[in-house]
Every structure is written in structure tokens, then in C-alpha cells.
Amino acid sequence: MLALGTSIPVIGEIEAPGLQGALRGTMILPAQSAPMILIIPGSGPTDRDGNNPQGVKAAPYRLLAEGLGEQGIGSVRIDKRGMFGSHAAVEDPNAVTVDDYVQDAGVWIDVIRSRTGAGCVWLLGHSEGGLVALAAAERLENVCGVILVATAGRPLGEVLREQLLANPQIAPLMDAANHAIDELSVGRQVDASKIPPELAPLFGQAVQEFLISTFALDPADLAKNTSKPVLIMQGERDLQVSVADAKRLHEAAPHATPAILPDTNHVLKTVASHDRNENIATYFADNLPLAPGVVDAISRFVKRH
């Protein structure tokens, strides 16, 4: 458990009460009066550093938190309920909805404010975490504003459909994928026994309630209804979310601040070409720094507000 004292900066483990056990994360507090950001992870088993046992080792959240700390901005980056350090919070990490993650964000806001004295907390959501951040900003108190990083501007069912279409190995299975996405998007579960094995990790019975809860939300509509300050950050080399998504978010929320970063991909690393293999290689490179402009754009936005 991290305990605050007179020693600044503070870097260490922090806990919040979960449903059955503790939620855990890492706090960086460069000064007692520092603005605080809660970093909400993206989809799947993504940990507090932004890594994923399914193939991401780029540590974008750790690098982001450290970079922000150097500019005087504090952060708490977290493990999702039921995963990694937060494994004791619930028995089944798949038995979750967007509302559950919003509830956890509210608990983290309360803990951060009580530990630091911050009047409010910024919500930074990466990828799917941006959808959670937008939903949380609409429902929770003491939110300073929202920082959307590589966040889709369309319902996630549409994004998933587009990603699957771009994968030639999935092309023969698109009828089944389209049926699953269509049914889940209107709130109906699908028969998992009829889902091709190649698609089972995406549409298995265990994750269908979560998919229903995400597919039902349009991030552009949520952004439109957010009166708080919003930063929309998008890399031009992102293979998973496009600049068009950022533009759709900005059209819905013209009060938002856009930050389109050249040569920046989904894990916030520099990619200088259109080469897909070069892009994917950065997903395994925690030794590579974040792309220029990532930390600075967030720092300027937070300090300006």
C-alpha cells in the first residue's frame, strides 16, 4: 500500500476497494498539488503498464505516466478488476460491463482525491478505455475532463467489423462475424456453439454481455454530451483506430481540442513508414520511447485547464 508523506515525488502501489478484493495500480505524484490523471486501459487483458500477454510489450502507459510525472503531472495507472494486481477484486474478469468499469473509475477517483487532496481527477482512456472514460465523465462527479487517446469515434461493433475485414485470414468467416456483431449490437446473445473456433476468443459466451454493453454505446454521442474539457489525441500511423474516428469525435464535440500526431501508432510509438510489419514490431518494444508530442500535448492541455 502506498502511503503519502513528506517525501516528494511519490511512486508506488496504491489500492482501491473492489467488489470482493482490492483494485490495484501505480501512483506517480510529482508534487502534492500536482493535477492527477487516472489512466484507463484498453481492451482485453491489458495491464496497468499497457502490456498484454497476447502480444503487447510496448509499456505505453508506464512511459506516459513517467513522462507526465517529469512535467509535474501525477497519475494512477490501474489493473482492471479480476486481472493482474486486481485479480482478487472479482472471480471472473469476463463477467463485466462498461457500467462496472465506470463504477471502478468512480472508486479510483475517490481514492485519488482522498490521498492527494485533488479537487478533481482527469480521465485518460486509451482505445476502448476512451469509451469507459466518456461514459464515466457523463455519470461521475469530480471529473476534471477527458483525454481520449486512440479512441474510436464509432460504436465498437463497427470498428471490430472493419478490423476483421482487413484480416485476410478472417475473410471466409465474415458471414459468421457479421451475424454475431449484428445480434450483439441490438442486445441479443448468439449461440456460442455456432461460432467458428477462430472467432471464439472474440465472441465467446463469457464475453458477450460485455460486448453488448460496449456495442450499445456511440462514443461520438457521449462526447457530444460532455461539457467538460476534452482532448482528442490520434496517431496517423494507427492500425486499429483512424484519424477519421478522431474527426468524428471532434465533429460531435467541437469544443474538444484535437491533437493529430504524425508518425504515431496505436501504442504511441514512432513509425516512419506505411510498413505494417514495422508498425507491429513496436508493439514488442518497451525500450522505444513514446513518439514526440504525446506527453507534451497532454501536459499542455491539462495545464491550460
Percent of the chain as helix, strand, coil, to the nearest 5: 45, 20, 40
Same domain for 265 and 119, yes or no, is yes
User: Residue 250: inside a domain, yes or no?
Assistant: yes
Q: Looking at the domain assignment, is residue 1 inside a domain?
A: no
What is the model's pTM? 0.94
Q: Residue 3: what pLDDT?
A: 43
Of 190, 210, 230, the residue that ends a domain is 210
Do 26 and 105 fall within a single domain?
Answer: yes
Q: What is the pLDDT of residue 292?
A: 96
Look up residue 37 and give its DSSP letter.
E
Query: Looking at the structure, do residues 58 and 184 belong to the same domain, yes or no?
Result: no
Report whether 203 contacts 184 (CB < 8 A).
Answer: yes
167 occurs within a structural domain:
yes
Whether 5 maps to a domain, the answer reads: no
Strands (E) in the chain, as ranges, are 10-17, 22-29, 36-40, 74-78, 121-126, 143-149, 230-235, 257-261
Asked if 50 and 96 sit in the same domain, the reply is: yes
User: Helices (H) and strands (E) in the chain — how many of each?
Assistant: 11, 8
Is residue 69 situated within a structural domain?
A: yes
pLDDT in tens, the chain (305 residues): 444 444 457 789 999 999 999 999 999 999 989 999 999 999 999 999 999 998 899 999 999 999 999 999 999 999 999 999 999 999 999 999 999 999 999 999 999 999 999 999 999 999 999 999 999 999 999 999 999 999 999 999 999 999 899 888 888 899 999 999 999 999 999 998 999 999 998 999 999 999 999 999 999 999 999 999 999 999 999 999 999 999 999 999 999 999 999 999 999 999 999 999 999 999 999 999 999 999 999 999 999 99
Exposure letters 117-135 (e unless 16+ CB within 10 A, then b): ebebbbbbbbbbbbbbbbb
Cis peptide before 41 (omega within 30 of 0): no
CB 64 within 8 A of CB 290: yes
71 domain residue, yes or no: yes
Question: Residue 120: helix, strand or coil by DSSP?
Answer: coil
The pLDDT value recorded for residue 55 is: 83
Residue 188 sits in which domain range?
Answer: 159-210
Q: What is the pLDDT of residue 25?
A: 98
118 and 46 housed in the same domain? yes
What was the pLDDT predicted at 181?
97
What's residue 79's pLDDT?
98
Q: What angle do CA 87, 159, 282 make, to 5 degrees?
A: 65
What is the reported pLDDT for 7? 45
Q: What is the pLDDT of residue 189?
A: 96
Residue 230 sits in the same domain as residue 293: yes
Alpha-carbon separation of residue 16 from 23, 110, 113, 143 (angstroms): 5, 9, 12, 17
The answer to whether residue 243 is domain-embedded is yes
